[in-house]
Structure 1
Amino acid sequence: MSSGSLPNTQDADGLEAAVDQAIEACDGDMRSTIRALIVANEYLETEVDELMKAVSHAFVRGRFHTYSG
């Protein structure tokens, strides 16, 4: 792993704070926390899929052009 991919201390602290917030939001219940995160992840995956379809459709229709520099 390259040193550029390692999180800095501020990123790590932010991640730890987010973990604490997620656990607190589920009243300390780890199973509920994991369940909520899985549901949120599935929702985001669906959103990404829908956005990719929309961009692909726009590209085919000529409404989206790649940046050529």
Structure 2
Amino acid sequence: MSAAPETTPEVADLDLAADQAIAVCGGDARETVKALLVANDFLERQLDELRPKVSTGYARGRFDRSRDRKE
């Protein structure tokens, strides 16, 4: 039994994606984090825009409609 944890394909893919993101940002980890925060904010805004458009039946009640209502 080895002391190192086993690397699953999911972990390897995540490590590869992290390495690629850092490389795209010129090796600057701080710039990479900032880029990821901007991307995350963009995706959250898309969700906020699309969530009210999904019917309750289709979503099977996964979303709290009272939270989405604007008064």
The alignment's TM-score, normalised by the length of structure 1, stands at 0.68
CA positional deviation for 1:51: 1.1
Q: Specify the alignment match of 1:36 in structure 2.
A: 35
Q: What SS does the corresponding residue of 1:27 show, helix, strand or coil?
A: coil
Identity %: 43
Q: Residues 34 and 53 of structure 1: is their aligned pair in 2 closer, same or farther, counting only changes over 3 Å?
A: same
Structure 2: gaps spanning 5 or more residues: 1-6, 60-71
**RMSD of equivalent CA atoms:** 2.2
Alignment of 1:1-69 (within 5 A): 9-55=8-54, 59=55, 65-66=57-58
Letter in 1 for 2:31: S
The alignment's TM-score, normalised by the length of structure 2, stands at 0.66
Structure 1: gaps spanning 5 or more residues: 1-7
Cα distance between partner residues in 2 of 1:13 and 1:36: 21
> Deviation per CA, 1:26-66, whole angstroms, max 9, x where unpaired?
000111100000000000001111110211xxx3xxxx744
Cα distance between partner residues in 2 of 1:31 and 1:10: 26
Structure having greater relative contact order (Cα 8 Å, sep ≥ 6): 2
